[in-house]
Structure 1
Amino acid sequence: MTHGDVAIVGGGAIGSSIAFHLVGDAVFAGRVTVVERDPGYRQASSALSASSIRQQFSTPLNIHLSRYGVEFLRRAPDLLGVDLALNEMGYLFLADAGGEAMLRANNALQRAEGCAVELVPPAGLAKRFPWISTDGLALASLGTANEGWFDGPSLTMSLRRAARERGAVYIADEAVGLGPHRVDLRTNGRLEAETIVIAAGAWSAGVAALARIALPVEPRRRSVFVFDVREAPGPTPVTIDPSGVWFRPEGRFYIAGTTPAEGNDPAGAPLEVQHQEWDEMVWPALAARVPAFEAAKVVNAWAGYYEYNTFDQNGIVGRHPEIGSIIFATGFSGHGLQQSPAIGRAVAELIVHGSYQTLDLLPFGYERISAGRPIRELSVV
């Protein structure tokens, strides 16, 4: 075992970002090995995400993580040699009377953190976006900068490619054993390293369990529907309806989805599109909110996993309090892809320098779980 060697279990956006930032640190002198059991990323959250980025969170740390993320996306041509097609059309959160107070509270926090967001009353909303129906709305919050969508799969693959070009080694294998300074692989024997990073996304709890560590992270299925309309309504931000249904443009089409109905969101459900969600939940909300969507026609759909932190819907990042050689980077509950650049930078700093250098992620540490101190993210989409 060479001093400073790092093994990362999980080679999606988070794991590859950690590898990229590690091998790019001039102080780091070890080797980086990334273990990925699904090298084609057929079930990876990174590849099946809706690939959006926002600042409108209720947790300041999430705001700052995504703020670095959008800066990284803008600089991707220089950092990764690829244009990630960042489209900064913003996010539009809609609230009815029951959600107005929370929207105002979130907006106040976001503005205090320097976010470019503004509250828009129904009359102003109708003027700015004449395609939208304001029936039942009390208020909206619009992000006017640093929000939108991008090419998520390209981000993951570019981070992977750049990390490998800098010297990181990727192994197509599965972790079947885990302990201090070791990862036992199904086909490649034992991998030894000074530091083990669990960045296995929706499957992180299973990896942690190999070391008898309880991790409150579950794979939750989310369906995304691609639909066409006869006539595009006009410039459209990522829009979140009070019903929980979201939608945004995707090329000449649109995509939409929602949180499954209560009782229909089991952990580890098969990656099968839940078409009844379109019929019973998504389309009715779209048709009511955007008259032009009444004649929407589904042309494609996919399902992806959401690494859901059942404890407080925020990321779990940092060293295990008792097994210091194990570091977590998981549980981001739907916003891991957009925050992967900042998480990669932070975990690399923790490994190389012994502490966070640019953004303090200690509040997202594992200790809050055992202590029962949740940091609730209220703006989960």
Structure 2
Amino acid sequence: MGSAKHKTYDVVVVGGAIYGSAVAWWLTQMDGFEGRILVIERDPTYTNASTSHTNSCIRQQFSNRTNIQISRFGAEFIKSFRRYMGGDPEVPHLTLQSYGYMYLADTPEFAQTLKESQAIQMAEGAQTRHMTAAEVAADYPFYQLDDIIAANHNLVDEGYFDGGTMFDWFKRMARKNGVEYIHDEVTSMTLNPQGTAVDSVTLKSGDRIACGTVVNASGPRAVATARMAGLELPVRPRKRYTFIFDAAHPLDRDLPLTIDPSGVHMRSEGKYYLAGCPPDVDPDVEFDDFAFDHSLWQEKVWPIIATRVPAFEQVKVINEWVGHYAFNTFDQNAVVGPHSKVANFIFLNGFSGHGLQQSPALGRGAAELIAYGKYRSLDLGQFSYERIEKNHHFVEKAVI
């Protein structure tokens, strides 16, 4: 455990993984903002953080314009990473492996949804292509497509990238720019007498830190952090499984990140392949529950990928892990911005699997709110906590 250098901070960030570090770094980029920033992280190894278990993908294939705009900026940020980091020659260039997402539709209704989403994506500048099964077969003859009616695919700025390096440099450059990180844990919060602001946070070490703004960036533990301020948040840990496998008969070209109608997804992973899925029964779990369901591969994943890609009849799992989605049970989209009553409590939660790819834009948006009291780049108002209070769902049809 380490002690904070000061007793008062303008911004206290609870959680130092991708979102805590993104908002901290972005705050150092806000013109005129000179506040003191403290990031509190309970596990600086990040062993069980969702950031450490991510598959590092980015897509523009959403149905909601705001989500598309967020990913368009995310792709720009990745491709211009060194420039955004100030041009430091030590900052690596990030590569966006753009072999795209391939959404496969096996019903007329799903095919129509894909077609409508493609029109929205194209209007926002994405290069998504709506394809017949014959067109998919011409480009990717390894698929078995007897049940497929249509598909959407995008080969521009959509695929995967090195999310671990992006996170590492958010953290490094935040520190270089004066952000303070400590290894400790927030155990409680004290509100002012009116209950309209968090005055201070108390740490496991016993230290008490006064704060101007609190940012909840605690991933799957977000509900516990919110409850310290007397607030409720519909975000719970949900397990998501990933398998890395070798194929006896490798494909002759890249495998797009293919979303099978069953919900199983798969893609190229260097010389190997990656597959993943939610469990058939998908309950809320404890934040420290990483028990692995070893039957999932044999009973669900492998039969589906071997049916869709017959070359995958002979494969061998070489690595596997389970991580957590910070799953927003309300509408499976982010909650960003202040609470309606406790106005200095900022949510940055509930990404439901979209977190890493959305961190450049949503980290920037949260920093703008803190520094200026409003969004200056993208309008992220649809993600407000107020929508939960008013029962207004953020509608996004493309959720994996």
Q: Aligned to 2:96, what secondary structure does the other structure show?
A: coil
Is the counterpart of residue 52 in structure 1 residue 27 in structure 2? no
Aligned partners of 1:47 and 1:156 also within 8 Å: no
The amino acid of 1:26's aligned partner reads D
Maintained 8 Å contact 1:32/1:168: yes
- Is residue 23–residue 32 contact of structure 1 (8 Å, CA) maintained in 2? no
1:292 and 1:373 mapped to 2: Cα distance?
45
| Letter paired with 1:92 | M
User: Which residue matches 1:208?
Assistant: 226
Q: Does 2:381 correspond to 1:362? A: yes
Instruction: Tell whether 2:351 aligns with 1:332.
Output: yes
Give distance in 1, aligned partners of 2:131 and 2:14.
44
Q: Where in structure 2 are the equivalents of 1:93-132 lying within 5 Å? A: 93-97=103-107, 98-132=109-143
Please say if residues 198 and 328 of structure 1, whose CA atoms lie closer than 8 Å, have aligned partners that are also in contact.
yes
The alpha-carbon deviation at position 4 of structure 1 amounts to 7.3
Partner of 2:309: 290
In 1: Cα distance, 2:46 partner to 2:312 partner: 32
- Which of 142, 145, 150 in structure 2 is aligned with 1:134? 145
> What corresponds to 1:14 in structure 2?
19
Q: Distance in 2 between matches of 1:175 and 1:4?
A: 14
Map residues 177-196 of structure 1 onto 2, 5 A cutoff. 177-178=188-189, 179=191, 180-196=198-214
Tell me the TM-score normalised to structure 2 length: 0.92
Q: Post-superposition shift, 1:26?
A: 3.1
Cα distance in structure 2, aligned partners of 1:377 and 1:163: 32
Which consecutive segments of 4 or more residues in structure 1 shift more than 6 A? 1-4
Output the CA distance in 2 between the equivalents of 1:188 and 1:281: 48
State the 1:153 CA deviation: 1.6
Answer whether contact 2:143 2:309 (CA < 8 A) is retained.
yes
Report the secondary structure of 1:297's partner residue. Answer: strand
2:3 matched residue in structure 1: none
Paired residue secondary structure (2:237): strand
Offset, 1:265 = 3.1
Structure 1 segment 28-177 matched on structure 2, within 5 A: 28-80=33-85, 81-97=91-107, 98-177=109-188
Which amino acid counterpart does residue 399 of structure 2 have in structure 1?
A: V
CA deviation string 1:112-169 (max 9, x = no partner): 2221101110111110011111120000000121100011122111111110111101
Which sections of structure 2, spanning at least 5 residues, go unmatched? 1-5, 86-90, 192-197
CA deviations on 1:279-338 (whole Å, 9 max, x unpaired) are: 111111100111111111101101111000000001000111101111111101100101
CA 264–369 in structure 1, closer or farther in 2 if over 3 Å, else same: closer
Q: Taking structure 1 as the reference length, what is the TM-score of the superposition?
A: 0.96
**Matched-pair contact (CA < 8 Å) for 1:182–1:190:** yes
Partner residue, 2:260: 241
Letter in 1 for 2:356: L
What do the CA deviations read for 1:162-201 (whole angstroms, capped 9, x no partner)?
A: 1011110111111111231321111151111111111111
1:199 aligns with 2:217: yes
Whether the aligned pair in 2 keeps the contact of 1:82 and 1:158 (CA below 8 Å) is no
- SS at 2:364's partner residue? helix
* Letter of the 2:278 counterpart: T
Instruction: State how far apart, in whole Å, the 1-side matches of 2:134 and 2:106 are.
Output: 14
Q: Which residue of 1 aligns with 2:32?
A: 27
1:267 maps to which residue?
285
- Distance in 1 (CA, whole Å) between partners of 2:361 and 2:118 is 23
Whole-angstrom CA distance in 1 between matches of 2:225 and 2:284: 20
Contact 2:61 2:68 in 1 (8 A): yes
2:9 and 2:371 map into 1 onto residues whose CA distance is: 8
- Given that 2:368 and 2:376 are in contact with CA atoms closer than 8 Å, whether structure 1 keeps it comes out as yes
| Matched length | 380
Query: Alignment partner of 2:231: what SS?
Result: coil
2:257 and 2:266 in contact (8 A); partners too: yes
